[in-house]
Amino acid sequence: MSQASADTDAKDGRARSLGSHYTLGELLGRGAMGEVYVAIDVETGERLAAKVLRAEHTDDDEVTARFLQERKLLRELRHPNIVAIRELVVDREQIAIIMDLIDGQDLRKRLRAEGRLAPAEAVRICADMLGALSLAHGLTPPLQHRDVKPDNILQATDGTVFLTDFGVARLAETGTSVKLTTGIGTADYMAPEMSGASAGAPADVYAVGITLYELLAGHTPFGRDSFQAIALRHITCQPPALEGLPATLWAHLSSMLAKNPASRPTAATAEARLRALLPELAGLPALPDTPAPTSWQQESGGVAQSAVAAMTGSSQAGAQPSSQATVLKGIAGAALGELPVAAVDAGIGLRRDGIGDDLDQQT
Furthest CA-CA distance within the chain: 63
Q: Are 308 and 209 in contact (CB under 8 A)?
A: no
Q: Are 311 and 328 in contact (CB under 8 A)?
A: yes
Please give the Cα distance from 181 to 204 (Å, whole number).
17
Please give the Cα distance from 184 to 322 (Å, whole number).
10
User: Environment class of residue 12 by beta-carbon count within 10 Å: exposed (0-12), middle (13-18) or buried (19+)?
Assistant: exposed
Please give the Cα distance from 98 to 50 (Å, whole number).
5
b (16+ CB within 10 A) / e for 36-53: bbbbbeeeeeeebbbbbb
Active site residue 225: no
Between the two ends of the chain, the Cα-to-Cα distance in Å is: 22
CA distances from 268 to 103, 137, 256 (A): 28, 9, 12
Q: Which of 304, 260, 77, 281 is nearest to 170 (CA)?
A: 77
Say which of 106, 147, 151, 188 is annotated catalytic. 147
Residues with catalytic function:
147
